[in-house]
Amino acid sequence: MYHKSRGILLRKTKLSGGGYILKILTLEFGIRSYFGRTSKQMKNKYLPLSIVELTGYHQAKKTIYSLKEYETSPPLRDVYQNIYKSNVLIFINEILNNVIQEEESNPEKYYFLENKIKELENNSFDSNFHLIFLIQLTSFLGFEPDTSGEGTYYDFAEGEFTSKTPTHSHFFDEKESVLFKSIYEAGFESNSKLTLSNQTRKRGLQIMITYYRYHTEMRELKSLPVLEMIFN
C-alpha cells in the first residue's frame, strides 16, 4: 500500500551496502524512516531539513519504508550557500534530532517547522533567528516558559520568576533572567524586537541551551562551537 505525505528530512545515515536510511518528519505520520537510493541526483536532494513530497510503500512488520517518489518542494538554495544561514540550519537540525522523537502526526508542529525553514531560506539573514526559533519551539515541546510573573530570578525548575534566590542551581541570575524574558517577548509578542551585541547573543544562546537541557535529554551539540565562532 502506497502513502503520500509532505516531510522534512531530519537525518540521513549511509549504509555500508549502499543507499541511505532517511529519518523524515512527515506531516501525515510523524517520524518515519525510509530507504533512499544512491545516485548523484538523489544524493543532492538528501540535504539537512530539505522539505519534500514523498510517496512511500508500507510493508507490514517493517519499520523502514521504501520510497517510490521523493522530490524537494520547494528546493532550498540560500540556506546551503549562505555561511550564516547554513550554520544556523545545521544547528537547528541537530536540535530537532535531539528533541523530536514522536511517531504520531502533529500537523501544527510540522507546519511551524516548515514555515521557519522557508523563513530562513527566503528572508534576509537575522542573527537572532536561532534564538527566536528555540523559544518558539518550546510551545510545541511542552515547556514554553511562563514569564508573566514578577521577580529577579527566573526559576526554570518551577517555571516562574521569583524574588528570592532559589535553593537549587536551576535558575537564571538577574541579568540572565532579563535576557531570557527579552528572547521570550521577541518570540511571542509581535511588537517586540531583539537587538543584541554578539557577546549578549552568545550568552542568550547559552541560556537557551541550559533551558533545553533541563527539560530534555539533549546531548552535547557538535554544531554549537561552530555557530558561536561564526557569530564572533
Question: What is the fold of 78-231?
Answer: de novo design (two linked rop proteins) (1.20.1440)
Residue with cell 539533549: 218
Parts of the chain belonging to CATH 1.20.1440.120: 78-231
Tell me the pLDDT band of 72, cut-offs 50, 70 and 90.
Answer: very high
Q: 39 or 210, which is more confident?
A: 210
Percentage of residues in the chain having pLDDT higher than 90: 82
pLDDT tens digits for range 117-131: 999 999 999 999 999
Distance CA 84, CA 92 (A): 12
Domain at 2-72: CATH code: 2.40.50.140
The pTM of the full predicted model, rounded to 2 decimals, is 0.94
- Strands 160-162, 153-155: parallel, antiparallel or unpaired by DSSP? antiparallel
Q: How far is Cα of residue 85 from the mean position of the Cα atoms in its chain?
A: 13
Structure confidence at residue 115 (pLDDT)? 98
Q: Residue 88 above 90 pLDDT?
A: yes
Distance CA 103, CA 202 (A): 33
Say which DSSP state 165 is in.
P
Parts of the chain belonging to CATH 2.40.50.140: 2-72
Structure confidence at residue 118 (pLDDT)? 98
pLDDT tens digits for range 120-160: 999 999 999 999 999 999 999 999 999 998 999 999 999 99
The torsion of the CA quartet 55, 59, 62, 66, rounded to 10 degrees, works out to -30
Distance CA 163, CA 180 (A): 16
Distance CA 112, CA 101 (A): 16
